[in-house]
Structure 1
């Protein structure tokens, strides 16, 4: 889950660059820059990813990374609160920010001639955030309200219930938002210390896509980050490494939670997949998920929605992360069908383990996944986001050859590869089931 902050959108042109290759390099102070020129664009999109997500929250300060994301926009000694947003919107641009377990990221899209000035603004805010105690008390109320709204959202509750059940003590099992007690107790001193040790160039990946050439992009990024970080070079600390914990599911862990005023039940099944060290298998797991739930002809959509009518909607998720990610299937349904639907999903998983996919079904899934990938990168902002995130994770080859590498992995996957993948990761004896039902049905 990400917690997102965005401003009004700027229209960006659709583009297509078959065979395009991005620049991937290290700049001063260890900052990673990924650049893709799009000569047909009239805008530049920048996405800055910071290796400072919820997994780096200090002990006893859950929610620190997300809270700091809010405070970044309260400005610096030289930039007033709201000044950055005003500058973006005045020029018809857009900006957004989000925090997840692995990262915080900050993005904007502006007209090409506004790119240097806007990046300098954002670099100042990221590196020299004021973190004023009085402003922090005001923003604490906003963060607490966001936490309350999330806990009133059945989908968020179902998601967090699944994450906590599947990951347990692993950092991914905690909420990105933290908890009420920790949010209330985080101090300005704690946040300044956290900011100074995590918001440093060596922990940042800057992705740029749009109407700026390679040399100009390098010069603008170097100037923005070198100039705004100069007064901290003698004082910065390298961040403490996040301690990795083992992720494993043993047996069938079935948990049920009830909520008042819930109109439809939620059923979630999850298996532990792979992390960034196995990104080829991660893409193949996306293909396997496509077979099951992507599109009207996908197995579970056809069988459970169209034919039987047991569920109102069914979807899946698998996203590459630092540590192994969850391969999940989620359904909206009436409580009377919970057992039937779970059993049917497991039957289909067993079928994927027992025999290779028919060629026609495999090819249909490949076309669907490759089309989705292509459509998801049609604008500079989408491409900058993709490059920045995968650059943060260290997937250099995937970033350099973004226009061909992903689709080549999908294209070269055989039916036997997916069968092996199902056997390796989708056990019918080791998985998590979480069920969210109305209190009247509990």
Structure 2
């Protein structure tokens, strides 16, 4: 039976991933959930505006907006101790609430102004119960995490009013993605009042907000042997959760174990909290400084370090096999993928590949390669960005999924567990 081939530990991991996704409707919630779990596991929360007291053997967590870094030092950490880093990202493609968000459409519908965030599969967001989630900041500078629960829906036009829809659906990003969230007297409609109520403040106190849209359907295992798993935001909360689990269970021996998950990957990473920004470098510099490293010692440590960048990748699609490389075909349930690209859209090189394959062997985890079909453009992730900024050897990996950038994505139950075990082998070295 297929069910008997899914280990109990893999099922426990996927249930915890489901809980993590449910707690993380926005990047800000994801960073907060990582920090909460790290503190619960004994890590000390440190604040960027304060002095840091970092000592060998210590465990720490720091949050910057929607990004988070968790790290642990071996007992004998010194100025030239290298870093073992696992990187991921907290954001997912979708929609973001515009300024002056409340609008009133024909027919008495209350609507909201949304801006497309990243590259979502727009049609997958239609006819789903959605929520708003993120942060509101008061005029006094206080930040509040908020989420509304099921509140809005982007309705599709009925087939009776668009007889050719099954021959090709084209959505206008401005006109066709504005959700409904109520009907009636327009004077009583103001989404900012709703968000303020969730934050426990008055709407007049709101000075700014970063609010995204999230699907509210719960994550679920399914299939003949419950070996498949569907959820929103697997890109890339799957890697964030796997890295966090690996980090919290790792006892570093020869390297400083670092788990970092960044916001804004889906839109290029160029922000103060994105991978192209200074956040990770700032943390590494402060760790090195606490260990007495000067420039030469820090460069020595960086030269001996390894960064594993993890993001989801493409499993072979059974209905579109021609879109994949004819030889390298990652399959769901076949273990994490090693991402390779000749044009450095992924940062993997021979030494990085060897380090990853050795980690998978040590963790007794199967692994497989991913390379794009030459006729299909290759995506990218935080790997090349971090390698360029820090000069640390980087290898790009991930888990094969279907429906990437859909409101609801699909993976095999065993693969996130395999990925976390391989990450643990990296972080515990």
TM-score range, shorter-chain basis?
under 0.3
TM norm structure 1 = 0.23
Q: Which has the higher helix share?
A: 1
TM-score (structure 2 length as normaliser): 0.23
